[in-house]
Amino acid sequence: MKAQASSMRATENLVPDTRHGVILYLENVSVSFDGFKALNDLNLYINDGELRCLIGANGAGKTTMMDVITGKTRPDQGKINFGQQIDLLKLNEAEIAQAGIGRKFQKPTVFEALSVYENLYLSLKMDKGIWYSLWHQLNGEQKDDIDRILAIIGLTEQRHGLAGNLSHGQKQWLEIGMLLAAKPRVLLVDEPVAGMTLQETERTAELLTSLAGEHSVVVVEHDMSFVRSIARTVTVLHQGSVLAEGSMAHIQSHPDVKRVYLGEEST
Amino acid sequence: MNYPISKFSSPLQRVTGLLFVMTLYVVIANTFFAPDSFWHVSDYSVTLLGKYLCYALLALAVDLVWGYCGILSLGHGAFFALGGYAMGMYLMRQIGERGVYGNPDLPDFMVFLSWDSLPWFWWGSDSFVWMIVMVVLAPGLLAYIFGAMAFRSRVSGVYLSIMTQAMTYALLLAFFRNEMGFGGNNGLTDFKDILGFSLQSSGTRLTLFVLTTVFLGLAYFICHRIVNSKAGKVVMAIRDAESRTRFVGYNTAKYKVAIFTFSAVLAGIAGALYVPQVGIINPGEFSPINSIEMVIWVAIGGRGTLYGAIVGALVVSYAKTRFTAIMPEAWLFALGGLFVLVTLLLPKGLVGLWPTVKTKAQQLWPKEKAL
Amino acid sequence: MKLRNLIISGSIIASSFLASVALAEDTIKVGVLHSLSGTMAISETTLKDTVLMMIEEQNKMGGLLGKKLEAVVVDPASNWPLFAEKTRELLAKEKVDVIFGCWTSVSRKSVLPVIEELNGLMFYPVQYEGEESSKNVFYTGAAPNQQAIPAVDYLMNEIGAKRWVLLGTDYVYPRTTNKILEAYLKSKGVKDKDIMINYTPFGHSDWQGIVSDVKKFGSTGMKTAVVSTVNGDANIPFYKELGNQGISAQDIPVVAFSVGEEELSGFDTKPLVGHLAAWNYFQSIESEANSEFIAKWKKYIKDDKRVTNDPMEATYIGFKMWAKAVEKVGTTDVNAVEQAMIGVTVPNLTGGIAVMNPNHHLSKPVFIGEIQDDGQVEVVWQTADTVIGDAWSDFLPSSKNLMSDWTPPMSCGNYDVTSGKCSGKM
Amino acid sequence: MTLIQRLIFLMLLTVGLTWPLKAAEFENFEAAIAALPQADFKSLPELLAGIAELDDQRVSSLFVHISQGEVYFQKSDKRVFYVLDQADGSARIIDALNGEVSQDIEKKQLSKVKTNNRIRSDITQLQAQLNLNHPDPNIRLTAAREMLADVSRISDKRLADRQNKESDGDVADILSLIAALKQFSKDDAVSQLSALTQLDSTLEPDVSQVLAAASQDAEHYSAEVQTKIKATLANIESQRNLYSYAENIFFGLSLGSVLLLAAIGLAITFGVMGVINMAHGEMMMLGAYTTYVIQQWFPNLIEYSLLIAVPAAFLVSGSVGVIIERSIIQFLKGRPLETLLATFGVSLILQQLVRTVFSPLNRQVIAPEWMSGSWQINPVFSVTFNRLYIILFSLAVFFMLLIFLKKSALGLHVRAVAQNRDMARALSIRSNWVDAATFGLGSGIAGIAGVVLSQLTNVGPNLGQAYIIDSFLVVVFGGVGNLWGTLVSAMTLGVLNKFLEPLTGPVMASIIVLVGLVFFIQKRPMGLFPQKGRAVE
């Protein structure tokens, strides 16, 4: 049980210090691939409990930014902190996830060979060491958690079906459910409504708004009407750095945004 | 590979039960029936079955990493052989003065290479307990080091497969060298006894056979528990979407190293059980072709199902034994053809055939089934 | 699911029943244990055909003891553990009376425990490193003193070689042979710096560096000779490289112990002319028995271009001896035949008489030949008399005190003359 | 004879350079020829030495024929003939005395005058004496080189004569070396020192032997001379080291080019299509057997057989590849690891097929004349022609393939399908057809590799097995899907191997390279030149 103790301790140390109200700090972050600057001196702050929308053209660096936060890509320079004290650059993907940053991919990825229930089971917030997993049995509270999430994402009936057999929209929902199960402090959501019906989109918007407050939510989305329906603060990325930030109205009237977007449309 | 095993715990009982029945039968038939009786099982068959079961254990190990974790190891023969060598070294030392040169300490091959003393790595090889430690440690450690390096730096897919192949190939070349102190090409052979029991007596053979089935049953049980535990689910999650698993918060490299090491230890145990039954261990076991064959057992049986691996190992080994005797000139056609046909027609292996057969059978004889 | 497992395990068990059903015995069964696939098939298939030819011939002459001979051919597939398994199958299941088989040392070592356990009888027809004498095996190929030492004598005395390169594949036969040769050369006053030893892996195909080293080693003005125990497949690239780097037999002669007519038939022999081979038989040796044998072989194999070689003669002698011993004692019982074998004589194909000695090795003449451009080997030297195969080399410190004599009262394969003990007896 | 000369003579005797002591005496060539049929291994050397003394035009051609093993005599009347085997299997039989071609004599009636190594090497020395005046400068050069081994065999006067007459630069160089050596052997320090300055820059091994022997000989060489000798030897040694370095690089490149040829086909099927083709080695084997069959069919065209075999092998292996792709691999799309299993089965079948058709024995593939021999750049550095051609050939194949993939329509389609199958299909590229063609191309190149291997190694059923692992390692080391990577990786592995080999022996060299490779892949999990872009993951 020693492994368990040590990894519990590790998780405990990873509680972000948000006394300044900011949960995610990205400062002067740059990433380049073969000379192409995907992120260029990016500065971004996400407040604790806020719902932030990120928009920007293809190649503006949205996905790269998420990669950098979740540890998939290492920045060439810059600082990324979770709360005041946790340096995310020192952690690997799994540790970042355990610290409380959850991510939903653009293309829904669920564990297709496992059942819906097992997908959620694996995502629950708990010790994720091998030895612990080997002997783990679900307790009542955890079962309740899973049932609750199943209800939220509307997959109670499919709970024992294989995740691979779900429809595209259902997979999106399952993935969101998996995020919820992990009880993260920050949710990074990449294009959540791609391929969803209008109805599903509405439900997603509802869900994401309801999550804000308890969690910080960062949404990357192309669908402007969707963004408009949920957004309080919007950040526009352009060529790897922040172009503008503010309310939807502010953004729409921002001259740089206009120029860039109109300019891009004209080419 | 859609096998929601979690819902059926019965294969465990079936496989262990069958193993038990078979063992019991073989023991009785070998001991109590007269050699000319129809029911008698000869010593030859006992040894042969024992050998097959060692292969089955090995296949189980390969299936655990390939079928469940998606790591296609083309180097499991190396772990098998290392376990075998650990056992072989112990058996070699048990020969003692009965070697052809009558040297009480040195094995024959060292005497005629004019070595004066045992090399350091033979230390403790005359102790049974140390042998057991080495059977676990040698393959386990190699797998741990190799796995820790490879999985940390995220070597995967064909790169990993080819690297495991390079590993076993390097070991093959190394063990061929006479300077290595493992008997070179001839390997270790001419064993006399184990724990004082003669390896040539049918009692010892039977005991070894029973031990093999016990280990196979035990290994099956453990593997079954593993793949049905939460850790097992994580492993399967890694197989299907490794980076997603990482973002859910699992250190996938650790899981992979753990399962790879465990599988290597199983392979080592299989090797250790194999050596006293076939009477020789030599570098040929490290040959990359052998390791490919192991993968083929699993593929033919049905990857991702533990009993499929066992079935595959038994069927292919048995086919090889029969084919080499019935059609010595053409058996490679048959074996090669079998590999091609199974991969083409039965992507889920032989055990994948079962649901179809069952449905057919139910259509044909609905009543009989009801009985 | 249960049924499937039942069927599979059932079929295994059922087959073992079949295995144990004894067949009515009205023939004498001869086991043939040569690899027909895998790396050794190249050499061993020929020996399988030789045994089959001998059996056919014996049957034409009415068989043995009034019974027909029946060949049981299995394929151990160049896989050493499979050799042990197949031996067990031949002895326990097929109940053969004698086995002709094996080529490599490791296959013999693999078979040995099984054949001793089940008290079988095997004839081993290939030149080998010696250091063995089993009650259940007759060695009809050459021991090192019947091949390696005479060849070195020839190079030393007739060619005047002073520097020696011992090239070998890294396994037991070359290792042992080279150890023996090294001891022998030193006993003849050759210095350490005049001996170069090099081992290569099986199937080594890139000889550039080694041949170039040999060339440098041989360019000191002292006559240099290469003694090659390079195994089968690696030989062609080796000789090709020799030829291409312009080393001719006149500059640095190479004597090989593993290259015979059959291997040569797969070579382009132009660059090899003049290099040497040492064997106990060459196809080119003129004698009535030999031409008859060659003709019979070509007819049997239906190929006018096929050649004969030393292991074939060894198989021939072994088979004839066994048949003679069986006739003598009127049974195929292993113990009786084993005793009867000792002292049996069979004419060599090259003239003279082969005798089975009490150490289970033959007395044979030794020939040194030069390779010709037609792939045949022309004898340039031969021992005056037959040489008795020595199971335990006198030049190795570990075995110089050992001797083998399977006749009572000694009946021991490794008798230590200093301690007066038969080591290895339980 | 001076003391030194006598000493050298004695030394040579002890080291076994067999110079016949006695020579038989003959009236004339006819008498000598008549004695030939009676000669055996023991008496033949004396007899030949006697013949060499004769001043007769026919001696030289007799020597040539004897060393070729072409001298026969008729069993009945002991007449001596030269028998020249013709390519079509017949023989031209020429009377040794008058040079007339006999039509009425069968080879069967003749019996060979047997020779052995010793006799052949005697003849070479005897020929050297004769050939020093040969009109062909190449033959003179060989003869002069032969003389270098023992300069006492040529008199000062004859040497001076020859030097005056010599028109060929290379031969003259050797002759002046001989002269220098003669001077060096004189018992006075001045001549010795002046000889040394001439010997300073030569790499002839015979010269360094004499110098090495002299450096041990304090009696005849003063301390001053000794120092000079040591300096000269050191100079020669350092030059030699340089050349042995060059030689190692050449060996490495040549090994690398074999690896390249073996791997390049795999780089296509494996790198471009993602198929793990375990039968790749057997495609090479088929190519090698094709060479064999071509030589059997056209025994008169051995010199051109390789040129015919290259396209033939490409077609044979290529079409087998297409058949395999159509019948098996196309059904395993997207299951790369399963192609490994199926093609492993195919490789077993192909091996056994060859064993059944051609027998398990190795087949004899003849090396054409132009592939044998070596290019002697200097006395210690030579480059064998076959290796040289193979390096050039493999590079040619590589670049042709590269250009083909870059420029041709099929190449474009291949790359398109490799990068994005669905998109390619949408662009109405027939991806099925492209797959078959790609696999055929990869297999065909393996067939070409087989033709090359037939010149280096055994042509037997196991040929492919020996190269398959190495091929995979080369491709993986270079980076899957990158042809340049394959080139760099093959050459690197080859050179690395050859530089390790002298230090550790060939087995350890392979092991070290393998282990190094395993570690390398940990550092760069996608090989030397990883494929770039998002599509990789």
At D22-78, the pLDDT tens digits run 566 777 888 888 888 887 777 888 888 788 777 777 887 888 888 777 888 887 788
Which of A52, A48, A49 minimizes the C-alpha distance to A65? A52
Nearest CA in chain D to B178: D507
Chain D environment of B296 (Cβ under 8 Å): 341, 344
Is the pTM of the predicted complex or chain greater than 0.90?
A: no
Q: Which of C76, C92, C109 sits opposite B189 (nearest CB)?
A: C109
User: What is the reported pLDDT for A265?
Assistant: 44
Q: Residue D335 pLDDT > 60, yes or no?
A: yes
Burial-class residue D41 by CB neighbours within 10 Å (0-12, 13-18, 19+): middle
* Choice among B284-288, D115-119, D480-484 with the minimum mean pLDDT: D115-119
Most confident range (mean pLDDT) of D99-113, D114-128, D289-303 is D289-303
Chain C environment of B329 (Cβ under 8 Å): 36, 75
> In this predicted model, what pLDDT tens digit does every residue of B215-240 receive, in sequence order?
999 999 999 999 999 999 999 999 98
Q: Between A36 and D326, whose confidence is greater?
A: D326
Chain D environment of C240 (Cβ under 8 Å): 367, 386, 455-457
- Residues of D contacting chain B (CB within 8 angstroms): 270, 276, 278, 328, 331-332, 335-338, 340-342, 344-349, 351-353, 356, 465, 469, 472-473, 476, 480, 507-508, 510-511, 514-515, 517-519, 521-523, 525-527, 537
Cβ distance C236 to D362 less than 8 Å, yes or no, reads yes
Cβ of residue C2 closer than 8 Å to a chain B Cβ: yes
What is the rounded average pLDDT for all residues in chain D?
83
Cα R_g (chain D), whole angstroms: 30
Distance CA(A186)–CA(A97), nearest Å, equals: 10
* Grouped pLDDT means (10 residues each) for chain A, 267 residues: 42 68 88 83 88 84 87 88 86 88 85 92 89 88 91 88 88 88 89 81 85 86 81 85 85 81 49
Cβ of residue C119 closer than 8 Å to a chain B Cβ: no
Most confident range (mean pLDDT) of B128-132, C392-396, D183-187 is B128-132
Distance CA(C123)–CA(D394), nearest Å, equals: 48
What residue ranges in C245-312 does DSSP mark as E strands?
A: 254-256, 276-279
High-pLDDT (> 70) share of chain D, %? 94
The answer to whether the beta carbons of residues D524 and D530 sit under 8 Å apart is yes
User: What is the reported pLDDT for D89?
Assistant: 65
Distance CA(C359)–CA(C413), nearest Å, equals: 7
What is the identity of the amino acid at C110?
A: S
Q: D1 to chain C nearest CA, in Å?
A: 22
In this complex, whether D and B touch, counting 3 or more CB pairs under 8 angstroms, is yes
Cβ distance B165 to D472 less than 8 Å, yes or no, reads yes
What residue ranges in C177-219 does DSSP mark as E strands?
A: 195-200
> In this predicted model, what pLDDT tens digit does every residue of C76-127 receive, in sequence order?
988 888 999 999 999 998 999 999 999 988 899 999 989 998 999 999 999 9
Substitution target from A69, A120, A134 for chain B, most B beta carbons within 10 A: A134
C299 to B57, C50, C295, C310, C320: CA distances (angstroms): 50, 12, 6, 19, 20
Q: Residue D21 pLDDT > 50, yes or no?
A: no
Q: Between C159 and C224, whose confidence is greater?
A: C224
Q: Would residue C67 count as lying in a domain?
A: no
The separation between the first and the last C-alpha atoms of chain A, rounded to the nearest angstrom, is 62
| DSSP 8-state symbol, B74 | S
How many separate domains does chain C show?
Answer: 1
Cβ of residue A97 closer than 8 Å to a chain B Cβ: yes
Confidence of residue B2 (pLDDT cuts 50, 70, 90): very low
Element (H, E) at D448: helix D431-453
Substitution target from C73, C89, C110 for chain B, most B beta carbons within 10 A: C110
Confidence of residue B26 (pLDDT cuts 50, 70, 90): confident
User: What is the reported pLDDT for A262?
Assistant: 56
What is the identity of the amino acid at D223?
A: A
Cβ distance B230 to A121 less than 8 Å, yes or no, reads yes
The separation between the first and the last C-alpha atoms of chain D, rounded to the nearest angstrom, is 84
| DSSP 8-state symbol, C206 | -
Q: Residue C241 pLDDT > 60, yes or no?
A: yes
Nearest CA in chain D to B328: D352
b/e per residue, B205-221, with b = 16+ CB within 10 A?
bbebbbbbbebbbebbe
Give alpha helix (H) positions in B279-330: 288-301, 306-326
User: What is the reported pLDDT for D220?
Assistant: 78
Contacts of C285 (CB under 8 A, 6+ apart): C349, C350, C351, C367, C379
| DSSP 8-state symbol, D101 | E
> In this predicted model, what pLDDT tens digit does every residue of D155-173 receive, in sequence order?
787 788 888 888 888 888 8
Cα R_g (chain B), whole angstroms: 22
What residue ranges in D332-460 does DSSP mark as E strands?
A: 374-378, 381-384
Chain C environment of D121 (Cβ under 8 Å): 250
> In this predicted model, what pLDDT tens digit does every residue of B311-320 receive, in sequence order?
999 999 998 8
Q: Residue D19 pLDDT > 80, yes or no?
A: no
Q: Which of C200, C209, C378 sits opposite D498 (nearest CB)?
A: C209
* Number of CB atoms found within 10 A of residue C297's CB: 20
The mean per-residue pLDDT over the stretch C19-32 comes to 68
User: What is the reported pLDDT for B60?
Assistant: 96
Cβ distance C117 to B354 less than 8 Å, yes or no, reads no
| DSSP 8-state symbol, C361 | B
User: What is the reported pLDDT for D137?
Assistant: 82
Which of D18, C151, C402, D156 minimizes the C-alpha distance to B101? C402
User: What is the reported pLDDT for B369?
Assistant: 42
Distance CA(C392)–CA(B160), nearest Å, equals: 48
User: What is the reported pLDDT for C389?
Assistant: 92
What is the rounded average pLDDT for all residues in chain B?
87
Nearest CA in chain C to B357: C4
User: What is the reported pLDDT for D263?
Assistant: 93
The mean per-residue pLDDT over the stretch B13-27 comes to 82
Which of A74, A77, A112 minimizes the C-alpha distance to A93? A74
The answer to whether the beta carbons of residues D143 and D128 sit under 8 Å apart is yes
Distance CA(D332)–CA(D348), nearest Å, equals: 19
Q: What are phi and psi of B46, to 5 degrees?
A: -60, -50
Q: Between D327 and A213, whose confidence is greater?
A: D327
Chain C environment of D363 (Cβ under 8 Å): 266
In this complex, whether C and A touch, counting 3 or more CB pairs under 8 angstroms, is no
User: What is the reported pLDDT for B170?
Assistant: 93
Which of B56, B65, B60 minimizes the C-alpha distance to B22? B56
The mean per-residue pLDDT over the stretch B291-304 comes to 90
Distance CA(C422)–CA(C413), nearest Å, equals: 8
Distance CA(B281)–CA(B191), nearest Å, equals: 10
Would you tell me which residues 216-245 of chain A have a C-beta closer than 8 angstroms to some C-beta of chain B? none
Confidence of residue C15 (pLDDT cuts 50, 70, 90): very low
In this complex, whether B and A touch, counting 3 or more CB pairs under 8 angstroms, is yes
Confidence of residue D338 (pLDDT cuts 50, 70, 90): confident
Contacts of D111 (CB under 8 A, 6+ apart): D72, D73, D74, D75
Preceding peptide of B119 cis, ω within 30°: no
Distance CA(B254)–CA(B251), nearest Å, equals: 6
A2-108+184-266: what CATH class?
Answer: alpha beta
The answer to whether the beta carbons of residues D306 and D386 sit under 8 Å apart is no
Question: Dmax over Cα atoms in chain C, in whole Å?
Answer: 79
Q: Residue D493 pLDDT > 50, yes or no?
A: yes
Give the pair of three-digit tokens for residue D104. Answer: 């009425």
* Number of CB atoms found within 10 A of residue A194's CB: 17
Q: D128 to chain C nearest CA, in Å?
A: 15
Q: Would residue C292 count as lying in a domain?
A: no
What is the identity of the amino acid at C192?
A: D
Domain that holds residue C251: 148-256
Burial-class residue D423 by CB neighbours within 10 Å (0-12, 13-18, 19+): exposed
Cβ distance C4 to B354 less than 8 Å, yes or no, reads yes
Q: Between D128 and C58, whose confidence is greater?
A: C58
Element (H, E) at B219: helix B202-228
Q: Which of B2, B230, B250 sits opposite A94 (nearest CB)?
A: B250
User: What is the reported pLDDT for D8?
Assistant: 54
DSSP of A11-32: HHHT----TTSEEEEEEEEEEE
Nearest CA in chain A to B235: A130
Which of A112, A257, A233, C286 minimizes the C-alpha distance to B1? A112
Distance CA(D315)–CA(C310), nearest Å, equals: 40
Distance CA(D482)–CA(D471), nearest Å, equals: 14
Q: Residue C17 pLDDT > 50, yes or no?
A: no
User: What is the reported pLDDT for B138?
Assistant: 95
The answer to whether the beta carbons of residues D530 and D475 sit under 8 Å apart is no
Burial-class residue A28 by CB neighbours within 10 Å (0-12, 13-18, 19+): middle
- Domains of chain D, residue spans: 3-131, 255-373+383-532
User: What is the reported pLDDT for C296?
Assistant: 95
Q: Residue D315 pLDDT > 60, yes or no?
A: yes
DSSP of chain A: -HHHHHHHHHHHHT----TTSEEEEEEEEEEEETTEEEEEEEEEEEETT-EEEEE--TTSSHHHHHHHHHTSS--SEEEEEETTTEEGGGS-HHHHHHHTEEEE-SS----TTSBHHHHHHHHSSS---HHHHHH----HHHHHHHHHHHHHHT-STTTTSBGGGS-HHHHHHHHHHHHHHT--SEEEEESTTTT--HHHHHHHHHHHHHHBTTBEEEEE-S-HHHHHHH-SEEEEEETTEEEEEE-HHHHHH-HHHHHHHHHHHH-
Nearest CA in chain D to C36: D360
Distance CA(B348)–CA(D12), nearest Å, equals: 76
Cβ distance B233 to A97 less than 8 Å, yes or no, reads no
User: What is the reported pLDDT for B98?
Assistant: 83
The answer to whether the beta carbons of residues B136 and B222 sit under 8 Å apart is no
* Choice among B42-51, C51-60, D34-43, D248-257 with the minimum mean pLDDT: D34-43
* Choice among C344-358, D278-292, D374-388 with the minimum mean pLDDT: D374-388
Q: Which of C160, C170, C265 sits opposite D18 (nearest CB)?
A: C160
Q: Would residue C244 count as lying in a domain?
A: yes
The answer to whether the beta carbons of residues D497 and D255 sit under 8 Å apart is yes
Distance CA(A235)–CA(A238), nearest Å, equals: 10
Centroid of chain to Cα C342: 19
The mean per-residue pLDDT over the stretch D308-336 comes to 91
Q: How many CB pairs lie under 8 A apart between chains C and D?
A: 156
Chain A environment of B6 (Cβ under 8 Å): 115, 118
| DSSP 8-state symbol, D270 | I
Does the ipTM exceed 0.90?
A: no
Q: B189 to chain C nearest CA, in Å?
A: 7
Q: Residue D537 pLDDT > 50, yes or no?
A: no
Residues in chain D, total: 537
User: What is the reported pLDDT for D122?
Assistant: 78
Confidence of residue C425 (pLDDT cuts 50, 70, 90): low
